[in-house]
C-alpha cells in the first residue's frame, strides 16, 4: 500500500539527495547510499515536481504539488497539465480512504486506499518514478561529468542495471541520467530514454524534508453540489451475455462479424456500461463498449470523421501500435469499438451489430 500511495512523492524523496559530506567530492556509490538513508529518515515532505512523457508519439506533462506523511498519507494537487481537464485535480489519502476530486467534471471519487487507481494522474506521476525507485536496489551509478542545469552546477550520473537485473530494470532497455546539484545535493533533473517505448523527464522545482505536516492536510471536505462517486460500487462485474442483455437497461448490440473469428472471452458491467471483449491473440483484441455516456479522455492518434450505420462517427487510429478507436451515438447512448484492429475492420464490426 505504501508503495502505491507514495508513487508521486516517493519520487521526490528518491531524488532528494541531501548529503552530509560538505565540500568534498563524493562518489556515485556514496550518493546512492545516502539516498537510502534520506528516504528512511524522512517522516514527511512537500515539494513541486514537473513530469513530461512521450509514449506512443503523444506528449504529456503535469506540474504537481505533493505532500506525503509516513507511513501512507498523501496529497497531490495538479497545478498545470497538457490535458486541460487535469488542471486542479486533487488526490488525497488519509491512509484508509482516497478522495479523487476532478473540478472540471464537478465530481469526486471516493474509495478505499488499497487498490484505488487514480487513472491518468497515477500514470503521469508514476511511470518514471517506478523506474527510479528500482535504482536503489538494482542499478550501478557512474559519475560521468559535470554540467550546468537551471543555472546550477551539477554532477551528472548515468544509471545502468546490475548483472542479473537486465530484464526487470528499465523497460525497453532504456537508460537513465540524473543531474545532482553540487551545492544542495538534490537531483535537479532526471531523464529516461526507452527507444520506441518512449521517454520521460522529471524536474524537482522545490522541496522540503520534514516540515511538520498537519494530519488535517490529508483529509478532504467534498464541496457542495459536487457529484460523489463510490469507487467500490463501480467495480466491474462479470456477466454472461444473457445477463448483460437483462441488466443493460438498453438494447445491447452484439456483432455478427469479428476478425479472425475472435471469440467472446468476457462480458463486463461497469459504471452503467456493458463491455464485450473479443480476443484471438496475438492478431485481434477488441472491446465493444455500450453505455449512456463516454467520460474517459479520447486516445492519442489521427482523428477523422467516418460514416457508421448511417451516421457520423469519430475514428482515431494510432499508427505506432495499430490500434483503432471508433465511437458514435445510437439509441440515446454511446457505442465504442476499440482495440488492436484496423479502421476498416472496426467499421465492418460496427455494421454487423444486431
Mean pLDDT, residues 78-94: 90
Which single residue is written with the C-alpha cell 529518515?
A: 41
Share of the chain above pLDDT 70, in %: 72
pLDDT given at position 174 = 66
pLDDT given at position 323 = 83
Residue 320 has pLDDT above 60, yes or no: no
Is the distance from CB of 9 to CB of 218 less than 8 angstroms?
no
Residue 141 has pLDDT above 90, yes or no: no
Question: Which is more confident, 188 or 236?
Answer: 236
Instruction: Encode pLDDT of 7-29 as tens digits.
Output: 334 443 433 333 333 344 677 77
With residue 201 as reference, give the H or E element that holds it. Answer: strand 199-209
Local confidence band at 53 (pLDDT 50, 70, 90 cut-offs) = confident
Share of the chain above pLDDT 90, in %: 29
Domains of the chain plus CATH, in order, are: 2-228 (2.50.20.10), 236-351 (3.30.200.100)
With residue 127 as reference, give the H or E element that holds it. Answer: helix 119-138
Q: Which three cell numbers stand for residue 129?
A: 518514478
Instruction: Encode pLDDT of 27-40 as tens digits.
Output: 777 766 666 666 67
pLDDT given at position 226 = 92
Instruction: Encode pLDDT of 97-139 as tens digits.
Output: 989 999 988 999 898 877 554 434 444 444 344 444 455 455 6
Mean pLDDT, residues 306-328: 84
> C-alpha distances in angstroms, 226 versus 20, 221, 229, 236?
48, 11, 10, 24
β-pairing, 152-161 vs 139-149, is: antiparallel
User: What span, in angstroms and rounded, lies between the C-alpha atoms of 12 and 349?
Assistant: 47
Terminal C-alpha separation, the chain: 44
Residue 171 has pLDDT above 60, yes or no: no
User: What span, in angstroms and rounded, lies between the C-alpha atoms of 273 and 269?
Assistant: 6
Is the distance from CB of 264 to CB of 278 less than 8 angstroms?
yes
Q: How many CB atoms lie within 10 A of CB 59?
A: 12
Residue 290 has pLDDT above 50, yes or no: yes
Residue 167 has pLDDT above 80, yes or no: no
Q: How many CB atoms lie within 10 A of CB 60?
A: 18
pLDDT given at position 115 = 56
Instruction: Encode pLDDT of 216-262 as tens digits.
Output: 999 999 999 999 988 776 678 899 999 999 999 899 999 999 998 89
Q: How many CB atoms lie within 10 A of CB 326?
A: 24
Question: Which is more confident, 82 or 350?
Answer: 350
Mean pLDDT, residues 322-342: 89
Name, in order, each residue with C-beta under 8 angstroms of 214's C-beta and a sequence gap of 6 or more: none
Alpha helices (runs of H) in 207-294, residue ranges in sequence order: 241-247
The predicted model scores a pTM of: 0.59
Mean pLDDT over all residues of the chain? 77
Local confidence band at 271 (pLDDT 50, 70, 90 cut-offs) = confident
Amino acid at each position: 500500500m505504501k508503495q502505491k500511495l507514495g508513487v508521486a512523492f516517493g519520487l521526490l524523496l528518491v531524488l532528494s539527495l541531501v548529503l552530509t559530506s560538505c565540500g568534498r567530492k563524493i562518489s556515485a556509490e556514496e550518493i546512492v547510499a545516502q539516498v537510502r538513508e534520506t528516504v528512511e529518515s524522512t517522516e514527511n515532505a512537500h515539494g513541486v515536481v514537473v513530469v513530461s512523457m512521450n509514449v506512443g508519439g503523444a506528449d504529456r506533462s503535469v506540474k504537481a504539488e505533493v505532500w506525503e506523511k509516513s507511513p501512507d498519507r498523501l496529497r497531490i494537487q495538479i497545478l498545470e497539465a497538457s490535458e486541460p481537464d487535469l488542471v486542479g485535480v486533487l488526490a488525497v489519502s488519509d491512509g484508509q480512504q482516497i478522495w479523487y476530486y476532478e473540478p472540471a467534471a464537478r465530481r469526486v471519487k471516493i474509495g478505499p486506499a488499497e487498490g484505488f487507481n487514480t487513472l491518468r494522474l497515477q500514470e503521469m506521476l508514476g511511470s518514471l518514478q517506478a523506474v527510479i525507485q528500482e535504482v536503489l536496489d538494482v542499478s550501478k551509478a557512474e559519475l560521468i561529468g559535470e554540467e550546468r542545469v537551471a543555472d546550477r552546477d551539477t554532477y551528472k550520473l548515468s544509471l545502468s542495471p546490475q548483472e542479473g537485473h537486465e530484464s526487470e530494470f528499465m523497460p525497453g532497455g532504456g537508460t537513465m541520467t540524473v543531474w545532482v546539484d553540487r551545492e544542495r545535493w538534490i537531483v535537479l533533473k532526471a531523464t529516461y530514454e526507452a527507444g520506441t517505448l518512449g521517454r520521460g523527464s522529471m524536474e524537482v522545482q522545490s522541496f522540503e524534508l520534514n516540515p511538520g505536516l498537519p494530519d488535517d492536510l490529508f483529509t478532504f471536505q467534498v464541496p457542495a453540489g459536487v457529484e460523489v462517486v463510490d469507487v467500490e460500487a463501480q467495480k466491474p462485474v462479470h456477466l454472461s451475455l444473457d445477463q448483460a442483455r437483462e441488466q443493460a437497461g438498453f438494447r445491447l448490440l452484439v456483432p455478427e462479424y469479428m476478425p479472425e473469428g475472435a471469440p467472446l472471452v468476457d462480458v463486463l458491467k461497469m459504471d452503467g456500461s456493458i463491455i464485450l471483449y473479443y480476443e484471438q491473440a496475438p492478431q485481434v483484441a477488441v472491446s465493444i463498449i455500450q453505455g449512456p455516456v463516454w467520460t474517459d479522455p479520447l486516445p492519442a492518434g489521427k482523428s477523422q470523421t467516418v460514416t457508421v450505420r448511417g451516421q457520423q462517427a469519430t475514428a482515431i487510429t494510432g499508427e505506432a501500435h495499430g490500434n483503432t478507436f471508433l465511437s458514435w451515438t445510437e439509441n440515446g447512448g454511446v457505442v465504442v469499438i476499440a482495440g488492436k484492429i484496423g479502421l476498416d475492420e472496426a467499421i465492418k464490426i460496427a455494421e454487423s451489430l444486431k
